[in-house]
Amino acid sequence: MTAMNFVRILRSQTLPVVCFFAACLLTNGTTFAMEPDSDSKLSETDSDRAVRVTQFLTRYCVDCHSADTAEGEREFDSFALPIQTQDQLITADEVIDQVTLKLMPPQDAEQPTDEDRLALVSDLRSGIELARDQFRSTGGRTVMRRLSNREYETTLATLFGRRVDTLGLTADFPKDNTSQHMDTVGESLVTSGFLLDQYFQAASRLVDIRLGKPEMVPKSWHFTDNFRQYEELTGSHQAVFKFKFLCLYEQPNTDTRQGGYGHIEDFLEGVPVSGMYDIEVHAQAMHRDTHYDPKIFRIDFSEPFQLAVVPGDATKGHIHYPQAIEPILGTAIVPDDQPEWLSFRVWLDAGQTPRFIFPNGPYESRASVIAANKRYKDEFKNPKEGVSRSTLLREGALPHIKIGEIKIQGPVQEPAGGKEEQAVFGDEGFQEDKALLQLYAFAQKAFRRPLIESDRGRIESIYQKRLSEDASARQAALDTVKFILCSPSFLYLSEVTAPGADQLGPFDLASRLSYALWGCPPDQELFAAAESGRLNELDELKSQARRMLADKRSEEFVKGFLDGWLNLRDIGNLPPPRKDAWQYYSENLPDSMKQEARQFFRNLLDHNGPISDFLDADYTFVDKKLAKLYQLPEQDTLRLADGFQRVELDQNKQRGGLLGMAGVLTVSANGVDTSPVTRGVWVLENILGIRPPPPPDEVPALDADTNGATTIREKLAKHSEDKTCIVCHRSIDPLGFALETFDPIGRWRTKYPKPNGKGSGAKVDPSGKLSTGEEFDDFTSFKKSLLESRREMFARNLVEKLLTYTTGRHMERVDQYAIDDILDRVAADDDGLQTMVIEVLASPIFRSP
């Protein structure tokens, strides 16, 4: 019998494996007294099972796990059936996992026969089934939680009918805590007095700047000169252009930042009121056909130059440098042959001034100028080396974008007072004689439930109080809107389901569903389904979930869930050195890395593709930037304008599945180098659902006592000579060895770099042996091993991650029965991802308080 067949037999007879713990993962230090109560009456069959379990543990486990030794901080001297406590249930589950995957007994110890293993697992499974009705989760209820910062902004954008990211409302908020990378878990979303103050300031700013803005007749501005640019650009622009042109020389994500942002010196005060503004720019792409070596500029000259508009605020930081709030508002292609007018219609908030960037421009303008001056000095009449730009602008062929005129007109008049006015007060805008009714309607949307009498009383009280203080009716209404946006009923997903109820009430269920899939309040159709009571019917719930997944707003689910599950939000926290990975910066690879995972997930979701594709697939989605990073043939045919396209990988063994994606490989490294331990832990946690404990305090760091070790394998071998290390490392390290063929940003490699950074070092060895005995030679065979021996573990982990994200709490042992049911239904539908998501949303866990 092969090891794989043995695992399959075990799985067919046991509860699906909950977790894949090595012995060293059992770390809570508790000793369990598990003797049956004296009143317990066991049948003969149950007695036989209890005896067999005790005999197995005594023979194969107690030598290491007795009360005296307790390796892994577990002792089995006192373990016995029947199971009577939740701790006992957890222990029994762990024993099943250890024996099923042949992690225990260790390979150098006496081994039980396959029949003995099967008998033990069957006996423990029976014990767990008998205990099933005894256990009910005490903590398995979702903690009332506040909106995450992400959900807060998305909710406000929904309620106000327009994007709010131009305001940076949460820029000064404390960063959300996450729990196992999820930003929706209630216990981690703490609230402080400082945050409450920030909520008030954000609400006041939003209402004042969007609804309280003064009426303004559209105005026009026309700028033709005084295009002053700062620092080292000032001299050359004055000498050569007399400040008649605004020029962009590099993409904005550089180190020196000389010419990445173009502003209007005579418009630093920005627009007077928030609104839509029409911007026209007379621009030309200069020297895209330059004869200078393209390697100097690190740019793809086959692509047309792009111009984009971002907001700037001279009061918030240097207008010449990046600022905290600068979402791209519009983009255009810049013509080569002669200047043309490019048009943008963008939203600017009061005080913001438009700035212009060159997204696909040269990388590090200063270095480019120095290199061109030195290399092509013989072409100039009066050559100057160094960072002098004047000679290049007069006589040379320096690639850049040249802007000669800028026109701004606005604010553009919008019907019925604009989107915000209609979203908050209705299609007719604010009506004084209907003020309270309009405020009640807005509060109902903000609170995500019908109002009760006390809600109306508080709203009316605030409104009347402001009127009594001589505020106008409109101002009183605006101040009441601020109050609504600071109410706990808005800031918290406060469930109004009756205490002790087994199922969420319809409005709580609607909110949970809408925030799971859209990150914002329910729309009218979902609210109506809740109001009628139909949403609590399983068919209606599934129907609404499918409708919402098909809506473009479900991109919020794709982004939010992948940021948590794969920890993609941390890409960029540990960036690589610019010298070693300039493409990471010049081509904004973090954005492409995240987008590949999102496109892949979206494709499986839309087409109900099999979740096994996450482990290995013969296709992926790339844009031109990733095609170059992956060295795919599509790098020669894709254009930036094509965006992301599906590419086939049937002839490419270097990619496929999540573990071949640059985003995963980047977030599982530290930016500077790679570690099999770090990546192995990432695979354990995010793919297999195992959370290894931190090493004991007495275990030395990896580099301790590794004199003479020349490869990472030798270092780990020395590090693992300590018995306290080897048990964990034999489960972790092989998973990381398989990914060593990728560098810190996911580029394929066959050799390590030399310590001095020059040339190639030792050859990469991606082979390994899983803790259950499966051997692999390379990345391809590693993925095959995962598919064959860890597929069920992956599926269970994915279900648990989906449940955690959508319910706002972590799964517990007693949840496993419902998870088993979900997995059975998903398996019956070919393991489709959409089926899995729908079944998660229709599960008792999701529908419970």
CA separation for the pair 791, 617 (Å, rounded): 14
C-alpha distance from residue 677 to each of 361, 426, 658, 692 (Å)? 38, 57, 18, 11
Lowest mean pLDDT among 75-89, 114-128, 442-456, 591-605: 75-89
CA separation for the pair 224, 242 (Å, rounded): 12
Q: Long-range contacts made by residues 494-501, C-beta under 8 angstroms, separation at least 24?
A: 494/144, 495/142, 495/144, 495/849, 496/449, 497/849, 501/849
Write b or e for each residue in 493-527: b if 16 or more Cβ atoms lie within 10 A of its Cβ, otherwise e: bbbebeeeeeebbbbbbbbbbbbbbbbbbbbeebb
Lowest mean pLDDT among 118-132, 190-204, 478-492: 118-132
SS (H, E, C) 756-767: CCCCEEEECCCC
The identity of residue 316, as a single letter, is K
The pLDDT score that the predictor gives to residue 113 is 84
C-alpha distance from residue 801 to each of 461, 686, 798 (Å)? 44, 9, 5
Taking alpha carbons only, the member of 767, 780, 701, 708 closest to residue 734 is 767
Q: How many CA atoms lie within 13 A of 168 on its CB side?
A: 14
Mean pLDDT across the stretch 564-575? 93
Taking alpha carbons only, the member of 635, 625, 643 closest to residue 745 is 625
Mean pLDDT across the stretch 104-116? 81
- pLDDT exceeds 80 at position 102: no
The pLDDT score that the predictor gives to residue 7 is 39
Q: Which residues pair with 344 in a beta bridge?
A: 279
* Sequence-ordered strand ranges (E) for 705-774: 751-753, 760-763, 768-769
Taking alpha carbons only, the member of 81, 55, 77 closest to residue 66 is 77
Work out whether strand 275-286 and strand 645-648 pair parallel, antiparallel, or are unpaired.
Answer: unpaired
Q: Which residue has the tokens 């007109």?
A: 409
Mean pLDDT across the stretch 328-334? 97
Q: Are 234 and 259 in contact (CB under 8 A)?
A: no
The pLDDT score that the predictor gives to residue 38 is 35
- pLDDT exceeds 50 at position 788: yes
Domains recognised in the chain with CATH numbers: 3-134 (no CATH), 144-217+422-494 (no CATH), 219-412 (2.60.120.260)
The identity of residue 408, as a single letter, is I
Max Cα-Cα span within the chain? 104
The pLDDT score that the predictor gives to residue 76 is 73
Radius of gyration of the chain (CA): 31
CA dihedral 375→377→379→384, nearest 10 degrees, is 140
The identity of residue 302, as a single letter, is S
The pLDDT score that the predictor gives to residue 8 is 42
Q: Provide the pLDDT confidence category of residue 115 given band limits of 50, 70 and 90.
A: confident
Question: Hey, what are 119's tokens?
Answer: 């008998």
- pLDDT exceeds 50 at position 39: no
The identity of residue 781, as a single letter, is S
Question: Hey, what are 315's tokens?
Answer: 């009061």
Q: Are 183 and 150 in contact (CB under 8 A)?
A: yes
- pLDDT exceeds 70 at position 19: no
- pLDDT exceeds 70 at position 765: yes
Instruction: Give percent of the chain with pLDDT exceeding 90.
Output: 67
The pLDDT score that the predictor gives to residue 139 is 52
Q: Provide the pLDDT confidence category of residue 702 given band limits of 50, 70 and 90.
A: low
Burial of 386 (0-12, 13-18, 19+ CB in 10 A): exposed
Q: How many CA atoms lie within 13 A of 822 on its CB side?
A: 28
Q: Are 804 and 182 in contact (CB under 8 A)?
A: yes
Q: Provide the pLDDT confidence category of residue 427 given band limits of 50, 70 and 90.
A: very high
CA separation for the pair 548, 294 (Å, rounded): 47
Q: Are 463 and 477 in contact (CB under 8 A)?
A: yes
Regarding predicted confidence, which is higher, 29 or 580? 580
Taking alpha carbons only, the member of 262, 305, 289, 298 closest to residue 371 is 298
Quote the mean pLDDT of the chain.
87
Lowest mean pLDDT among 350-364, 697-711, 826-840: 697-711
- pLDDT exceeds 90 at position 699: no
Q: Are 658 and 614 in contact (CB under 8 A)?
A: yes
Q: Give residue-wise pLDDT tens across range 526-564.
A: 999 999 999 999 999 999 999 999 999 999 999 999 999
Q: What angle do CA 648, 654, 660 make, to 5 degrees?
A: 85
Lowest mean pLDDT among 155-159, 285-289, 667-671: 667-671
Q: Give residue-wise pLDDT tens across range 181-213.
A: 999 999 899 999 999 999 999 999 999 999 999
Work out whether strand 353-357 and strand 306-312 pair parallel, antiparallel, or are unpaired.
Answer: antiparallel
CA separation for the pair 184, 188 (Å, rounded): 8
CA separation for the pair 57, 612 (Å, rounded): 35
- Interacting residues of 575 by C-beta distance below 8 A, sequence separation 6+: 584, 585, 671
CA separation for the pair 171, 762 (Å, rounded): 45
Q: Give residue-wise pLDDT tens across range 132-174.
A: 645 544 456 777 899 999 999 999 999 999 999 999 999 999 9
Helix axes 538-550, 524-532, angle to 10 degrees: 180
Q: How many CA atoms lie within 13 A of 186 on its CB side?
A: 20
SS (H, E, C) 420-482: HHHHHHCCCCCCHHHHHHHHHHHHHHHHCCCCCHHHHHHHHHHHHHHHHCCCCHHHHHHHHHH
Taking alpha carbons only, the member of 132, 129, 846, 819 closest to residue 502 is 846
C-alpha distance from residue 697 to each of 29, 276, 296, 720, 724 (Å)? 15, 59, 50, 15, 11
Q: Are 398 and 290 in contact (CB under 8 A)?
A: yes
The pLDDT score that the predictor gives to residue 58 is 81
Q: Which residues pair with 647 in a beta bridge?
A: 620
Question: Hey, what are 846's tokens?
Answer: 């999701």
How would DSSP label each residue in 532-583?
HTGGGSHHHHHHHHHHHHHSGGGHHHHHHHHHHHS-GGGTTSSPPPTTT-HH
Mean pLDDT across the stretch 719-731? 62
Q: Provide the pLDDT confidence category of residue 721 given band limits of 50, 70 and 90.
A: low
Q: Provide the pLDDT confidence category of residue 377 given band limits of 50, 70 and 90.
A: very high
CA separation for the pair 175, 718 (Å, rounded): 39
- pLDDT exceeds 50 at position 411: yes
The identity of residue 1, as a single letter, is M
CA separation for the pair 60, 668 (Å, rounded): 37
The pLDDT score that the predictor gives to residue 710 is 56
The pLDDT score that the predictor gives to residue 804 is 97
Taking alpha carbons only, the member of 265, 360, 349, 257 closest to residue 306 is 360
Instruction: Give percent of the chain with pLDDT exceeding 70.
Output: 87
The pLDDT score that the predictor gives to residue 671 is 84
Q: Are 29 and 122 in contact (CB under 8 A)?
A: no
The pLDDT score that the predictor gives to residue 108 is 75
pTM: 0.84
Phi-psi region of 689 (alpha: psi -120 to 50; beta: other; left: phi over 0): left
Question: Hey, what are 694's tokens?
Answer: 């931190």
Question: Hey, what are 598's tokens?
Answer: 């999102």
CA separation for the pair 151, 556 (Å, rounded): 9
Q: Are 156 and 419 in contact (CB under 8 A)?
A: no
The pLDDT score that the predictor gives to residue 99 is 77
The pLDDT score that the predictor gives to residue 256 is 80
Mean pLDDT across the stretch 634-639? 95
Q: How many CA atoms lie within 13 A of 341 on its CB side?
A: 7
